[in-house]
Amino acid sequence: MSARAGLRRGHVLCSLTRRGSGIGRVGVSSAQQQQRRLLNHFISRAPPLPETPPHNGVPDEPLSQPQAKSFTLAVKDNIATTTSSLPTTCGSAFLASHHSPFEATIVTQLRRRGGVLVGKTNLDEFGMGSHSVNSAFGPVAQKAKRSAGGSSGGSAVAVAEGEADVALGTDTGGSVRLPAAYTGTVGYKPSYGMLSRHGVVPYANSLDTVGLLARSVGAVAELVVGAGRLWAEHDPMDPTSLSAAARARCASVREGYQGGLPLPRDESSQSQSPSLGERYTQRHGSSTLARSHEAEKSPEAMVKGVRFGIPLEYNIEELDPCIRDAWAAAAERLRALGARIVPVSLPSTRHALSAYYVIAPAEASSNLAKYDGVRYGSVRADSDEDDSKTTTDAADGGVLYAATRGHGFGEEVKRRILLGSYTLSSEAMDNYFLQAQKVRRLVRRDFDRVFALENPLHEPEAFSLSDLPDTVAMENKFGPTEVDFLLCPTAPTLAPLLENVMAQRSPVDAYMNDVFTVPASLAGLPAISIPMEVAAEKEEGVSAVAGLQLIGQFWDDARLLAVAGAVSDILKAVPTVEGR
């Protein structure tokens, strides 16, 4: 069964209608102004001379770490900022003039590390979309009039065009990795709970993560696991942020977290059983664990001996042949350099996309309940009512709430609210929402089974070998070969023409773009998309670039970034702004 057929069976969806487009506010001249009108990737821009950033109530707070190198930073417009010229709109008419009273933790952290805010980027309304066209400020485009991906399309284009060194996005089901694949940039989604979500307008709390986009893997790695050490900072304001104790335990059984964190004294946790790292060493040897994060090694040496899993279920019929060929060529090139390429099976991932589009809208319907014109947005009476009637009349007639939300939300947001509300209803809860949660657990179990490293948050689970297809070879009587990372495409197609996206009649066509990114989000695993050139015709001098995705075990972000950087260098596909 194709991925599209599985998604259609899981949902009854109405036809897709697009919102009217508008042009974002831009204040530059001549050719640049015309180009930016076409791209529409910023909703608002910071003034040329940045205002003094707020201290969030902490006097004399340092704006950057000692000797921190400054870099330009673009922020997706569902992440709170307090600069007066940069409202936080979420790409919605509801919040068109909303100014946050506080700044997101991740923005403060990056400013301390030298980040200079250049603007807020366009996005799908509240992060709901795969092409950044569901915005009250108009669709985002990239050069050659192609889709920029979604929902962090504005951030990806800002990086691709050289207007930001690093951009913040949010990744719920692939909203950082998909735009990265379409624009030829690097998009990184960290392990769930690593980066703070405080100040991020929520879409689906159990799936949302803050992600980073840049033109190289090294720029991301430097902030997360290098000198920036974002991985080590717990945020008490974010209930999903891993505690300092949990971070210390996870880092103690992983490679690449130099400096680490002190492990808490907990006699109850001291036992005679081996740790995760010890169990890994007993099975695979210490050299394998350390091999991929030695900075002095060449990219070729870093991938030698690393085991890359090729998920059999990801070879779907909707996969563009040129991307399939590039995927196979990348795997073969890594094999020639000494890496092991291992076919693996993830049986439950064929249901992941359907489960995601039950869980995410369900959580969204709850999160968006506060947008009623009273707490957020402006009160609007029914448009059919006479102007002389007051809003009280509208409320008495029971239409105030409906009229305000109906006017403030776009079509895609309304669709997901209705879908989520239905799946949480008493008649559908058992058949949809609970079943989707079961699928989510099976997806995580499949990942835990194929990775050599164990998940530090869960006890190992037994699985039946009878569940595996015959194409998966057994390493020994205990099961198939375990791998270090999974290697797969980021998206099943190249970036489509924007006019074709706008003409789509079914939302399933847009939802299909998330088929390779959703499984890692459901399991909370780190994943990164790096550029991969494909053999396709060039348009207007722009090389055809797709995304190659690497997925790692939970909290194995440091090794993932190191190996992704090596693979990226080997493929030599990271484009420059001039070469695009």
Which residues are the active-site residues? 76, 151, 175
**Using the 8-state DSSP alphabet, how is residue 514 labeled?**
G
**Which residue, 248, 276, 265, is CA-closest to 459?**
276
**Gyration radius of the chain's alpha carbons:** 23
Residue the block writes with tokens 């989510």: 440
DSSP H or E run through 348: none
**Which residue, 295, 299, 292, is CA-closest to 255?**
292
Residue the block writes with tokens 């790292």: 277
Q: Can you say how many angstroms the Cα of residue 27 is from the centroid of all Cα atoms in its chain?
A: 30
**Which residue, 108, 125, 66, is CA-closest to 233?**
108
How far apart CA 188 and CA 166 sit, in angstroms, is: 11
Sequence-distant (≥ 6) Cβ neighbours of residue 449 within 8 angstroms: 461, 463, 479
As separate numbers, helices (DSSP H) first and strands (DSSP E) second, the chain gives 20, 15
CA atoms within 13 A on the CB side of 233: 20
Q: Can you say how many angstroms the Cα of residue 425 is from the centroid of all Cα atoms in its chain?
A: 28
Q: Please say whether the beta carbons of 114 and 69 come within 8 A.
A: yes
**Which residue, 40, 36, 122, is CA-closest to 76?**
122
Residue the block writes with tokens 């009854």: 12
Partner residues linked to 188 by β-bridges: 212, 528
Q: Can you say how many angstroms the Cα of residue 364 is from the centroid of all Cα atoms in its chain?
A: 16
Sequence-distant (≥ 6) Cβ neighbours of residue 386 within 8 angstroms: none
For 121-180, the DSSP string reads E--SGGG--SSS---TT---EEGGGEE--SSSHHHHHHHHTTS-SEEEEEESSSTTHHHH
Sequence-distant (≥ 6) Cβ neighbours of residue 478 within 8 angstroms: none
How far apart CA 79 and CA 90 sit, in angstroms, is: 8
Where helices occur in 337-428 by DSSP H, the ranges are 352-367, 391-396, 400-408, 411-423
**Which residue, 142, 138, 144, 135, is CA-closest to 159?**
142
Cβ–Cβ contacts within 10 Å for residue 287, how many?
9
**Which residue, 435, 412, 361, is CA-closest to 14?**
412
Q: Please say whether the beta carbons of 530 and 179 come within 8 A.
A: no
